């Protein structure tokens, strides 16, 4: 157990709570906006059907254009909320990983914690943080030089193997194909932390060697 790591984790509690609340707020906003999007999408399809069937384009066009603008706004808002969720989730994982780094240094020195799907809590935190911070640099295969050796610093991204295994189990998540995106929210979901801050705190304190 590292006193420095425990102190760091305790000092970041307010920030962690704020980040967790931010994720939940934006999830609720996303759900609300998705309902609005579906309603506007249904309206657009209904208007389009009337226009095609009865040919009353002039009568419907103004209302249809207005609803289409609302629909576009819904889609943009949902995309924005998803970005904000991943930013907050990534920062959440950053603090968690930093506490483990302070306590143990290298990932291999930290206890794995309970198994989660095909991996463990420690590796999900570590790889989830790294992927969320550097997803745009994802390399599925190492870059080789003319001699067929891996160029220093150009190996396969550290999170790829773990996330590919998770994707095999959950085909709709952890996709390792372009365009790459942050998977921080997917990591929180897999850890069952998204809606349960108490579980997050228990898991972290167990990893840090604090047993309450």
Identify the pLDDT of residue 50: 61
φ, ψ dihedrals at 147, nearest 5°: -90, 0
Chain centroid to CA 103: 25
Across residues 136-152, what is the average pLDDT?
Answer: 86
Q: Is the pLDDT of residue 58 over 80?
A: no
158 located within any domain: yes
168 located within any domain: yes
Q: Is the pLDDT of residue 55 over 70?
A: no
Across residues 127-150, what is the average pLDDT?
Answer: 90
Identify the pLDDT of residue 2: 75
Structure tokens at 13: 């509690």
Identify the pLDDT of residue 181: 93
Please, which residues have CB within 8 angstroms of residue 153's CB and are 6 or more apart in sequence?
none
Identify the pLDDT of residue 27: 97
152 or 206, which is more confident: 206
Identify the pLDDT of residue 97: 97
65 or 72, which is more confident: 72
Domain count, the chain: 1
Identify the pLDDT of residue 34: 96
* Cα distance between residue 90 and residue 203, in whole Å: 17
209 located within any domain: no
* Cα distance between residue 69 and residue 159, in whole Å: 40
129 located within any domain: yes
CB 143 within 8 A of CB 151: yes
Identify the pLDDT of residue 109: 95
| Residue 52: band (very low, low, confident or very high) from pLDDT cuts 50, 70, 90 | low
* Cα distance between residue 212 and residue 97, in whole Å: 21
Identify the pLDDT of residue 60: 62
Percent of the chain, pLDDT > 90? 72
Query: What's the domain range around 46?
Result: 3-204
The DSSP string of 115-152 is EETTEEHHHHHHHHHHHHHHGGG--SS--B-TTSPBPT
* Cα distance between residue 181 and residue 73, in whole Å: 22
Task: Encode 174-188: b = buried (16+ Cβ within 10 Å), e = exposed.
Answer: bbbeeebbbbbbbbb
134 located within any domain: yes
57 or 64, which is more confident: 64
162 located within any domain: yes
CB 103 within 8 A of CB 110: yes
211 located within any domain: no
Q: Is the pLDDT of residue 48 over 90?
A: no
Predicted TM-score (pTM) of the model is: 0.87
φ, ψ dihedrals at 159, nearest 5°: -90, -10
126 located within any domain: yes
């Amino acid at each position: 157990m590292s006193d420095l790591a425990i102190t760091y984790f305790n000092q970041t509690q307010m920030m962690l709570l704020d980040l967790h609340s931010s994720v939940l707020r934006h999830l609720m906003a996303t759900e609300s906006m998705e309902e609005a999007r579906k309603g506007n999408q249904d309206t657009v399809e209904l208007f389009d059907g009337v226009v095609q069937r009865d040919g009353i384009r002039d009568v419907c066009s103004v209302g249809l254009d207005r609803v289409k603008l609302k629909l576009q706004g819904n889609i943009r808002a949902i995309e924005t909320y998803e970005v904000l969720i991943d930013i907050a989730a990534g920062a959440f994982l950053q603090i968690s990983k930093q506490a483990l780094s302070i306590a143990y240094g290298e990932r291999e020195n930290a206890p794995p914690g309970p198994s989660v799907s095909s991996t463990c809590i420690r590796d999900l935190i570590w790889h989830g943080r790294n992927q969320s911070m550097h997803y745009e640099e994802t390399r599925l295969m190492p870059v080789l030089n003319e001699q067929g050796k891996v160029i220093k610093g150009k190996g396969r991204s550290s999170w790829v193997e773990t996330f590919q295994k998770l994707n095999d189990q959950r085909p709709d998540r952890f996709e390792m194909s372009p365009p790459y995106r942050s998977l921080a929210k997917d990591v929180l979901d897999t850890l069952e932390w998204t809606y349960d801050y108490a579980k997050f705190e228990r898991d972290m304190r167990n990893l840090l060697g604090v047993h309450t």
